[in-house]
Structure 1
Amino acid sequence: MNAEASDPATCLRPGARYADDHDPFWPRTELHALRGQLGLDESVTDAQLQLAARSAAITAAREFAQWRRVLRDRGFKRLEDIAAHAPGRVLSRCYRECLKRATRCALAHTSCAQTGPPEVVHD
């Protein structure tokens, strides 16, 4: 078995779509799983979710840039490399939570852009 086939960063599920492919340090996020975690129905299209999730991945990468820099300086190539340690699990959980929240926020902005701001009713 070659090393690339066992590498989680390169072992992708055939046909699966992912939100973030710009930086191998951060864990990949499968769009179908993200849709389920966020409890989204069909009113959110795949294209909307993909765009929101990609934007969220960029936001999360910016938020965690200092962590990435420090870990890379210490020789870690991916966040999963430190997942066996409690701090690594916490950082991974925080990154994924940031990604979910930023995706939800991006989808809310998309929704507002499509429907316009809420109407203000004066008595």
Structure 2
Amino acid sequence: MSEISAEERESGTVFAPKFDSDGLLTAVVQHVDTREVLMVAFMNADALDATRKTGIAHFFSRSRQTLWKKGGTSGNTLAVSQVLVDCDQDAVILLVEPAGPACHTGARTCFYRELDCGALQDVRT
């Protein structure tokens, strides 16, 4: 796709994702009902395409350098209800219905610790 103007990117209706130099977008994953942040991951063009085609969240693993379907092994998939795109089109929010814990540790969310006086404190309830 050809480059679009900043005005079109910020105010228009053309979806033209602005991937970083590594070909990635930041994806913030939130629960569709509570808006709780469940995880943050990265998407390349293939992950974004697979997510849009299947309705199940796919991401790009920076450590493994591969596409992965969230829950492909555990069954804890994320059914995508809505994709929100930020003003620069370089980040997205996926509003999802999780089929189980979002975190690989088994926690509901990956954000289960708070930084308090230089130490991490578990804030799970």
Greater length-normalized contact order (CA 8 Å, ≥ 6 residues apart): 1
Q: How high is the TM-score relative to the length of structure 1?
A: 0.28
Which protein is bigger by CA-based radius of gyration?
1
Whichever structure has more helix as a proportion of its residues is 1
Q: How high is the TM-score relative to the length of structure 2?
A: 0.27
Whichever structure has more strand as a proportion of its residues is 2
